[in-house]
Structure 1
Amino acid sequence: MKQHLIGKSVLLVEDDPKIRNLVKVYLLKEGYEVIEASDGSEAKEKIKRYDPCILLLDLMLPKISGEEVCRWVREDFQSMMPIIMLTAKVSEKDRIQGLKLGADDYVVKPFSPAELMVRIEVILRRTASRCSKLSFGGLTIKPIKGEVWMDSEQLELTHFEFKLLHMFMQNPNQVLSREQILTFIYENNEKAVSERTIDVHIKHLREKIKEKTPKDYIQTVRGMGYKFVAL
């Protein structure tokens, strides 16, 4: 899994299950968090719920067209999330219309999934500041806004708990000692709290997460420290 892509969420909107599953396989292989929708109405609900880093949007969708979803994202939802349109519409007029609606890229079917992955990576690299968040299995942290969400429910964390969770999510699946945690949290190695105080804060953080989900994200590694498991 590519570490620099971990936690990046992609909403894949495609009514053809074969295409959707194929693209999903590639996305997961590249380390993305994948959210799926099969029609335009579901796409709008998933956008409001998850605010993904990038939207892969088929145009010919049931209920609400991809063009209308794109217009809604830009005008009503007022989001600048990157949008890549996936479509069988090949005319120059269709491409121009898609770009005018606010799409960042326009990929014609049939397309190469490998090339699509490159296009996604390029766009996310260019818009990195827009997607200033990390997501794992429904747990999302938005550092700039100072928010943590478990699916559609917001967690109320203390300043220290927030810093701890941010540190863990920036270093998924890595065992961190208490000493390392203190170094991450405090600049210039300033130790404002003891190592045992870290245990108390992590205990409280775990309890707050457990109130929203049974998933055990933060695990104790006996004799070594703690590990955030990217579920």
Structure 2
Amino acid sequence: MDRKVVIIEPNQMMRLFLFNYLSSTYEVEAFSSMEQLIEIEEEFDEPDLLLYTMTGESDDLIQSHISLKNSALIVLTNEDKSEERIKALRMNAFDSVSKPFNPEELKVRIEIAIKKSGKRIEKRIPTIAV
């Protein structure tokens, strides 16, 4: 697992579900809020992708957070409304997904966003000493 996904999700059950579901494919860190992530900023490595649930409270922090500048962004919205999708696009999100969502579709969207962002880490080729 050489790709890192950071989840910011205020709902504990959804956060645990996303963490468990994505952990089989990615290195995952999960936070309840942007503020919680900012508290550990010095120890934080830039992720390949940020999966962020739009709350309105800290949406502006996403764009200004130095550790997230080059990360792909997918925004999860609690409602399927055009204004939510527009706001996500204005946050420079690669994609927005409305809850409830199909988990497999979300995983595919994450993979596409990571590939398109250009942050994909080169796969290490194992070497065998002879």
Task: Give the TM bin, normalised by the shorter chain.
Answer: 0.7 to 0.9
Helix, strand or coil at the partner of 1:35: strand
Q: Which one of the candidate residues 98, 107, 111 is aligned to 1:121?
A: 111
1:108 corresponds in structure 2 to 98
Q: Per-residue deviation at 1:110?
A: 1.2
- CA distance in 1 between counterparts of 2:41 and 2:52 reads 12
Which runs of 5 or more structure 2 residues have no equivalent in the other structure?
none
2:52 corresponds in structure 1 to 57
1:26 touches 1:117 (CA, 8 Å); kept in 2? no
Q: Which one of the candidate residues 117, 129, 132 is aligned to 2:121?
A: 132
Q: Does 1:84 align with 2:74?
A: yes
1:44 touches 1:69 (CA, 8 Å); kept in 2? no
Q: Per-residue deviation at 1:101?
A: 1.8
Helix, strand or coil at the partner of 2:28: strand
The CA deviation string for residues 53-85 of structure 1, in whole angstroms up to 9 with x for no partner, is 100001127xx52x1232224xx5571310001
Would the alpha carbon gap of residues 80 and 54 (structure 1) be closer, same or farther in structure 2, given more than 3 Å must change? Answer: same
Which runs of 5 or more structure 1 residues have no equivalent in the other structure?
1-5, 135-169, 180-231
Seq. identity, %? 26
1:178 corresponds in structure 2 to 129
Count of aligned pairs: 129
Runs of 4 or more, structure 1, over 6 Å off, are none
Counterpart amino acid of 2:12? Answer: P
1:59 touches 1:87 (CA, 8 Å); kept in 2? yes
2:3 touches 2:121 (CA, 8 Å); kept in 1? no
- CA distance in 1 between counterparts of 2:51 and 2:111 reads 13
- CA distance in 1 between counterparts of 2:40 and 2:93 reads 18
Would the alpha carbon gap of residues 33 and 47 (structure 1) be closer, same or farther in structure 2, given more than 3 Å must change? Answer: farther
The CA deviation string for residues 143-202 of structure 1, in whole angstroms up to 9 with x for no partner, is xxxxxxxxxxxxxxxxxxxxxxxxxxx25xx7x5423xxxxxxxxxxxxxxxxxxxxxxx
Would the alpha carbon gap of residues 53 and 47 (structure 1) be closer, same or farther in structure 2, given more than 3 Å must change? Answer: farther
- CA distance in 2 between counterparts of 1:78 and 1:7 reads 17
- CA distance in 2 between counterparts of 1:77 and 1:10 reads 13
Helix, strand or coil at the partner of 2:23: helix
1:71 corresponds in structure 2 to 63
1:56 touches 1:83 (CA, 8 Å); kept in 2? yes
